[in-house]
Amino acid sequence: MSRLKAEHLYKVFGRRPEAAVRRLEDGASRDELRADGTTAAVIDASFEVEAGQIFVVMGLSGSGKSTLLRMLNGLLEPTSGSVLYDGRDLTGLSPAELRDVRSHNISMVFQHFALFPHRSVLENAAYGLEVRGVPRAERLERAAEALELAGLKGWESSWPDELSGGMQQRVGLARALATDADLLLMDESFSALDPLIRRDMQDQLLDLQKRLKKTIVFITHDLNEAMRLGDRIAVMRDGRIVQNGTAEDILVRPANDYVASFIQDVDRSRVLTAGSIMAEQAAGAAPVAVPDGTTTVSAETPVAELFSPFSRSDSPVAVTDESGEVTGVVTRDGLLAALADQPDAEEQDADQPEEVPAPLVPASEPEVITHA
């Protein structure tokens, strides 16, 4: 069973939202509804997130990412559809039951979250536990552990204004980690950070994830960030999920021109793997003997790591499985072709109008947390 499952989720803002959902089901477009002053923020979103996965939702400003995320923890009630957490339908819970799930199982990390200026870093990290009524000694102990996980050991008694933006963001992460919630919902959590610090935070999150195995839904505008972090990536456009796949699926098989237009700026060499670009051994063929000195890599090796062997020699690189058997080879020409290969627009869905995404505008409005 998946940890989190969204089934045909809709969220419509404005008058007569249920009627708007029926119109959408009958094929009305988002623009038609907008003409009536109704905003279809999320339209028919379905997906599953397995325990321990990082599921990234990527899309432009206004595509419905935050609205979707808020339905996942019950901050917003779906107009239609359901959210299942460990098989339990959140939409069917009483307010008290929902509060209980929210306070024990789900934690949210925002882009702009407020640290209390007159409380120490430790007390700030303990805030989520304080709200939950955890006794002081216990919450400070758990907050200290979470700060250590977030790389802030030694800063416990500092004041927030003594910390850089990146470090403050880590306090937000620590606050979520301290609660022990399994499901972390992260809305543009790194978007306000400088590029280098942002990369650092991405590394830290991946590193934490290896140890803690949380289930994470991570929202971003940035496809490179999505591809670095996501076990799966859902691309949203105008309220709909237009593709849901691995980084490699999106890079190699974009669902339409819209998705394809995003991938031009992606560093293909970090997403493609040796296994995805190799020429495979024919099934049933006799095992291949690899000449001495041949470089061997695993199928998961990023293509970026093949540059070095090819800079030393023109010989193909062998791709081997766990038992050391050769499953395919990558040639220098094969590598170059894979890196040059832009998806062919002709092969894409011809019904999709040619469209280039607008510039990515980071959300500037502060997050307001409303407690139900």
Ligand X SMILES: Nc1ncnc2c1ncn2[C@@H]1O[C@H](COP(=O)(O)OP(=O)(O)OP(=O)(O)O)[C@@H](O)[C@H]1O
Closest to 67 in 3D by CA, of 233, 236, 229, 182: 236
Minimum CB–partner distance for residue 39 and ligand X (Å): 5
How far is Cα 316 from Cα 309, in angstroms, rounded to an integer? 9
Minimum CB–partner distance for residue 365 and Mg ion (Å): 9
Give the list of residues 6+ apart from residue 137 with CB closer than 8 angstroms, or none. Answer: none
Minimum CB–partner distance for residue 63 and Mg ion (Å): 9
Residue with smaller CB distance to Mg ion, 45 or 84: 45
The residues that touch ligand X, with contacts defined as CB under 6 A, are 13, 39, 41, 59, 61-67, 221, 363
**Residue of 66, 107, 224, 256 interacting with Mg ion (CB under 5 A):** 66
Residue with smaller CB distance to ligand X, 79 or 105: 79
223 binds, among ligand X, Mg ion, none (CB under 5 to 8 A by kind): none
61 binds, among ligand X, Mg ion, none (CB under 5 to 8 A by kind): ligand X
64 binds, among ligand X, Mg ion, none (CB under 5 to 8 A by kind): ligand X
How far is Cα 234 from Cα 59, in angstroms, rounded to an integer? 8
316 binds, among Mg ion, ligand X, none (CB under 5 to 8 A by kind): none
Q: How many residues bind Mg ion (CB under 5 A)?
A: 2
- Phi, psi values for residue 326, rounded to 5°: -75, 125
Residue with smaller CB distance to ligand X, 39 or 352: 39
Which segment (62-70, 78-86, 165-173, 317-325) binds Mg ion by CB under 5 A?
A: 62-70
Cβ–Cβ under 8 Å, residues 8 and 81: yes
What secondary structure does DSSP assign to 56-72, as a single string? EEEE-TTSSHHHHHHHH
Minimum CB–partner distance for residue 231 and ligand X (Å): 21
- Phi, psi values for residue 323, rounded to 5°: -85, 5
Which segment (60-68, 90-98, 152-160, 291-299) binds Mg ion by CB under 5 A?
A: 60-68
| Chain residues 342-371 in contact with Mg ion, contact rule CB under 5 A | 363
Pairing status of strand 296-298 against strand 279-280: unpaired
111 binds Mg ion (CB under 5 A): no
Q: Which residues of 198-213 are buried (b: 16+ CB within 10 A; e: fewer)?
A: bebbbebbeebbeeee
Residue with smaller CB distance to ligand X, 33 or 174: 33
Minimum CB–partner distance for residue 77 and ligand X (Å): 12
Residue carrying the six token digits 């590029």: 195
Number of other residues whose CB lies within 10 A of the CB of residue 85? 23
Residue with smaller CB distance to Mg ion, 165 or 362: 362
How far is Cα 186 from Cα 215, in angstroms, rounded to an integer? 11
Closest to 184 in 3D by CA, of 212, 149, 222, 147: 212
38 binds Mg ion (CB under 5 A): no
Pairing status of strand 215-220 against strand 54-59: parallel
Cβ–Cβ under 8 Å, residues 1 and 86: yes
Angle between helices 165-178 and 195-212 (to 10 degrees): 20
Single-letter amino acid code for the residue at 205:
L
Residue with smaller CB distance to Mg ion, 334 or 357: 357
Which segment (58-66, 75-83, 96-104, 243-251) binds Mg ion by CB under 5 A?
A: 58-66
Residue with smaller CB distance to ligand X, 63 or 215: 63
Minimum CB–partner distance for residue 312 and ligand X (Å): 45
Q: Which residues bind Mg ion (CB under 5 A)?
A: 66, 363
